[in-house]
Structure 1
C-alpha cells in the first residue's frame, strides 16, 4: 500500500510524492540520472553508495529485473525517485518487478511527483544533501532532521563496498599477461571486460596490506577501479601508485580510479556542481578527433587548469558538454585514465574497444 512521502533538500525545497515500495526515512546526496534504461545496473553500481537517485526518464520499471545485469550483490543507492513506476512488466526474462527488487533490499521507491522540478533544482544548485520520509510530513520539522544527518563526505564510502581478501579470476588463457585490479567498488561489467584480455586477474581491496599480500602475485599491469565518494580524502594509496609507476608498470584507471591517479601525481580535483550521471555524455578523443557517446557517473573531475599547468600530463579526452577533463595520459610513463565508463552498463560501450584495446597493447609492448 502506497504512503504519502516528503522529498526534501537541505536548501528547503520540497515535494510530496507517494511510495511504490518501502517506507520510513532515509538521507543521502541527491543526484539525477538521465539514462532511459538500465535502472537495474544503476542502483547496484557501488559508485551510487550514499546517494538518492532521481531518474529523469518518466517511466521506470517497465521491463522488470532480470538479475542478468546486476553490477554487485547489493542495491547501493539509498532510494530512487521516479515520475511513474510501471505497474506492467513487458519482458519475458524478468524475474521480479523493480518495486519488489527494491523492497528485497530494504530500499524506498518514490513516484508521482514532479521529477522535472527536482532535476531543475539540482542542476541549478548542485548535488545536495536531502532526505525522504513517510513518517514526518511536516517540512519544517523534517528539515531539522536533514540538517542533523551526516553528510556523504563524512564517510569513506569506498570502504563499505569492497571485499576483504584477494580474489583471483580466470580470464583469457590465450594471453599470458596478468592484471592487478585495485578495488574501490568495482562493477561486475568492468571485470567481465578485463577477463577478455588477461590470463589472470587479481582483485585486491585498496586498503589491504599491499606489501604483505601482493609480493607473490605475478602481474604485468595495474588497474584502478571505479568507486563511490570523494577521491580527495584518499591518501593511503598514493605511495603504491608511485611505486608501480616508477617500476614502469602500465597503469590505467576508470572514474574514481582516474581521479586518484590524477590526485596522486599532483593534479587538482574539483567537485562538479551536479556531476555527470547518465548514458548520453559525448567525449572527444583529442588524439584522433573522434567523438564517442559514453556512460558517466561521477561528482568530481580533474581540474582542467591543473592539466594546462602540468609538465607531465596531457588531456587526451574532453567532455563536450562542459569541457571538463574526461581522460589523461602521462607524457613519459605508461599511465592513462578515463573519467567515463567504457564498459557502460548501462549505456553505449563504443569507447570500450578504444580504451581497453589501447591499454592492452601498451601492456603487451611493455612486456615484449
Structure 2
C-alpha cells in the first residue's frame, strides 16, 4: 500500500505501509539504536513525533510484553528501511506490524531512510506528515507546515498518569502508597517519582536498588509530596519542550533543599529551569544508544542512550549555585549537573536504558547514597 512522507520544506519520500491505511503528523526525527525498537515505541518521550530508524532491518526479533516501557505506543508513526514480518526469537509473542496495528500506529517501509536522516541532519528536525490517504504533494506539505509543532506545547499533560500508583512485581499497582504493602516493603527508601512520561525501567531499577516507589501525576503539588515524607524525589523523562510544561518548575523550586532530587531527561531540564536556567532546541536532537558523555567529576567516558530534542543552556545557569558534571563529547552540550548547596543532581541521558548500554546505572547508586546521607 503506497504511502507518502512529506516534510514542511517540500521534500517528499515515497514508501509503502506495512500496517494498512493510516495518517500521522508530527515532528520527524531519527534514532540510531541498533536494537530496542519496542522500547523506543513505548517511550512516552516520543509523543508528537514520527520516528525513523537508521538501522536498516527492523522487526526481526518481534515484540513481547516484558519489554514494554509504558502501557502504549507513543510515536505518531514508525518509519523503517525494511520491515521483517517473520521474527525469530523465543521471547516474541507477536510481530511488529501486529503491535503497531493494535495501537493504531502507522508503519512505513521501502524508502531511503539514509537520505531522510541526512536531510534532517543538514536542515534540522522538522514537521512532517505520513499518509496512505492523501497522495497530493501540495496538500501534504501545506498540512505539515500548518501543524503547530512542539515548541511551547505542554506535551506532558498527554502522557502523565491521572492518579498516583505504586510499583510492585514488575507492574504498576493503582492506588497504592507507602503505607500499603508492596513488593520490596522492607526496602529502606521511599521515593516519590513525578511522572512526566516515565519509563517502566526507571521504576524497575529504583525498586531493585532498594526503594519503594510512589508515582504521582506531573501536576502534584509540593505540599502533597512533602506530606508523603519521602526519602527522595525522582523527576522522570518526558516529551517536548520543558518551557511549555505548566506549573512544574514552581513545584520543583518549592522542593529544592527539602529532599534529595534526581532528574532524568525532561526531569533534568525542568530542574535546570528551576535553577534559573533556560532551554533551547537542538538542531536534530540526540536519539540513540551510542552517545559519548564525559563525567567531569571522574574523567570517565560513558556510552549512553538518549532521546531529547531540547537542552539546557549551561551559560544560563548560575555558576555559583550549579556545577556542570557531564558533557556530550559530540557537541559539548550539557549532559549533567548538580546543585552546589542542595542535594540535587540530574542527567540529560537515560541511565536506565533497556536493552542498553548500561554504563550509567551507577547514577541510581548515587541517588541512594544521597538519600542515605
TM-score (norm 1): 0.94
Deviation at 1:200, TM superposition (A): 2.0
Cα RMSD (Å) of the superposition? 1.5
Paired residues of 2:221 and 2:251 also in contact (CA < 8 A): no
1:107 counterpart residue number:
105
Provide closer, same or farther for how the CA distance between residues 260 and 154 of structure 1 changes in structure 2, counting only shifts above 3 A: closer
1:5 counterpart residue number:
3
2:38 counterpart residue number:
40
- Please give the alpha-carbon distance, in whole angstroms, between the structure 1 residues aligned to 2:225 and 2:163: 11
Query: How is 1:261-276 mapped onto 2 (pairs within 5 angstroms)?
Result: 261-276=271-286
1:182 counterpart residue number:
194
Range moving further from structure 2, 200-209 or 92-101: 200-209
Equivalent pairs counted in the alignment come to 359
- Please give the alpha-carbon distance, in whole angstroms, between the structure 1 residues aligned to 2:286 and 2:4: 26
- Please give the alpha-carbon distance, in whole angstroms, between the structure 1 residues aligned to 2:189 and 2:221: 24
Equivalent residue in structure 2 for 1:192, among 198, 204, 209? 204
Unaligned stretches of 5+ in structure 1? Answer: none
Paired residues of 2:155 and 2:245 also in contact (CA < 8 A): no
1:286 counterpart residue number:
296
Deviations 1:15-51 (A, max 9, x none): 1001111323210000000001000000010000110
Paired residues of 1:35 and 1:347 also in contact (CA < 8 A): no
Equivalent residue in structure 2 for 1:313, among 310, 322, 334? 322
Paired residues of 1:8 and 1:130 also in contact (CA < 8 A): yes
TM-score (norm 2): 0.93
Equivalent residue in structure 2 for 1:59, among 54, 57, 74? 57
What SS does the corresponding residue of 1:152 show, helix, strand or coil? coil
Provide closer, same or farther for how the CA distance between residues 22 and 152 of structure 1 changes in structure 2, counting only shifts above 3 A: farther
Provide closer, same or farther for how the CA distance between residues 319 and 171 of structure 1 changes in structure 2, counting only shifts above 3 A: farther
Deviation at 1:126, TM superposition (A): 1.2
- Please give the alpha-carbon distance, in whole angstroms, between the structure 1 residues aligned to 2:68 and 2:75: 13
1:341 counterpart residue number:
350
Matched, 1:221 2:232: yes
Unaligned stretches of 5+ in structure 2? Answer: 168-181
1:135 counterpart residue number:
133
- Please give the alpha-carbon distance, in whole angstroms, between the structure 1 residues aligned to 2:166 and 2:140: 47
What SS does the corresponding residue of 1:68 show, helix, strand or coil? helix
Range moving further from structure 2, 100-109 or 216-225: 216-225
Deviation at 1:293, TM superposition (A): 0.5
What SS does the corresponding residue of 2:65 show, helix, strand or coil? coil
- Please give the alpha-carbon distance, in whole angstroms, between the structure 2 residues aligned to 1:273 and 1:347: 25
